[in-house]
Each structure stands twice: as structure tokens, then as C-alpha cells.
């Protein structure tokens, strides 16, 4: 997986090493972190582009994010696409979870799924919530899921 910063700079290290460096650097500066992981997607013709983000929130001091983009030519119904977004976020959260436990970093998984039943994405809410909570992660959906609905949304090229 290739990751980059918001400014486009490539992250050369494996993501676990890069995240551990961030955690260590921030803690050396006495800054407490919270991490939110989310994915958004956009359908563009025959392709669906996914953007997964790791958002680092510095307590009282802003934040920054790492971004991974990938594409699929598979055709998805809306519910399938929402659950694919969640699966991509969980994959990253699961890989990084040992670091967050080791360094006592709070982490949430954000789903770009509306809690309002009038929206189509709401069809996937129960499954997404069960999937995320079942993996032992904290769960946020719209309107609180800024990592997926705002940050990842901006990262879809």
C-alpha cells in the first residue's frame, strides 16, 4: 500500500513504522494523539476510487492525515460500496491497532454512512456498525464521521 501526506509527499516507510514514528514524535513533545480512520469512495465511470485516511488529531493543537488511494473496476451497489469502505478502514485499523494499544492512543473508525434513514447509505448502517464494533473498535457514523465524510472525501482524486 502506498501512502502519502495531504501535500502529496510520499510516505516511504511501511505504514506501521511511519505511524509509530508519528506517535513517538508527538509524545516526545508531550502532545496527546487521537486517531480516526475512515474511507470514502467516488464512482467515476467504470471505476470506483477509494480514499482511506488516517487522521491524527493533536489535543488542542490541530491535526494532519495520511492518505491511501486505490481504484476498483468492480461494480458495486450502494450498500456493497459502503461496506467495502468500512472493510478498507478496518483493514488499516487492525494493522495499526497494536501500536495504538502499546502507546495508549485513542482510535475510532469512521463510516461514511448516514444515520438518517432517508439516505440510501443508511441501508448499510447496521452491518457497518456491527462489523466495526465486533472488531472491538469505536464507531462513528455521519454526521460525526468526519474522517470518512470530510477528510477522505477530499482525498478522492
Dump pLDDT digits (tens) for 10-60: 999 999 999 999 999 999 999 999 999 999 999 989 999 999 999 999 988
Percent share of the chain, pLDDT over 70 = 99
3-155 CATH: 3.30.420
Is residue 73 over pLDDT 70? yes
Domain extents in the chain: 3-155
- HEC readout, the chain: CCEEECCCCEECCCHHHHHHHHHHHHHHCCCCEEEEEEEEEEEECCEEEEEEEEEEEECCCCEEEEEEEEEECCCCCHHHHHHHHHHHHHHHHHHHHHHHHHCCCEEEEEEEEECCCCCHHHHHHHHHHHHHHHCCCEEEEECCCHHHHHHHHHHCC
| Residue 157: predicted pLDDT | 63
Amino acid at each position: 500500500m502506498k501512502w502519502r501526506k495531504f501535500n502529496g509527499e510520499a510516505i516511504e516507510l511501511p505504514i506501521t513504522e511511519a505511524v509509530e514514528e508519528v506517535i513517538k514524535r508527538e509524545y516526545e513533545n508531550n502532545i496527546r494523539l487521537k486517531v480516526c480512520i475512515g474511507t470514502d469512495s467516488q464512482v467515476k465511470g467504470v471505476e470506483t476510487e477509494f480514499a482511506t485516511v488516517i487522521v491524527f488529531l493533536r489535543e488542542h493543537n490541530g491535526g494532519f492525515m495520511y492518505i491511501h488511494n486505490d481504484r476498483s473496476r468492480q461494480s458495486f451497489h450502494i450498500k456493497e460500496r459502503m461496506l467495502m469502505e468500512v472493510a478498507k478502514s478496518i483493514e488499516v485499523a487492525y494493522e495499526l491497532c497494536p501500536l495504538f494499544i502499546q502507546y495508549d492512543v485513542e482510535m475510532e473508525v469512521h463510516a461514511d454512512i448516514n444515520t438518517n434513514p432517508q439516505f440510501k447509505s443508511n441501508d448499510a448502517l447496521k452491518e457497518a456498525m456491527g462489523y466495526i464494533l465486533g472488531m472491538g473498535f469505536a464507531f462513528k457514523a455521519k454526521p460525526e464521521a468526519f474522517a470518512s465524510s470530510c477528510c477522505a472525501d477530499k482525498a478522492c482524486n
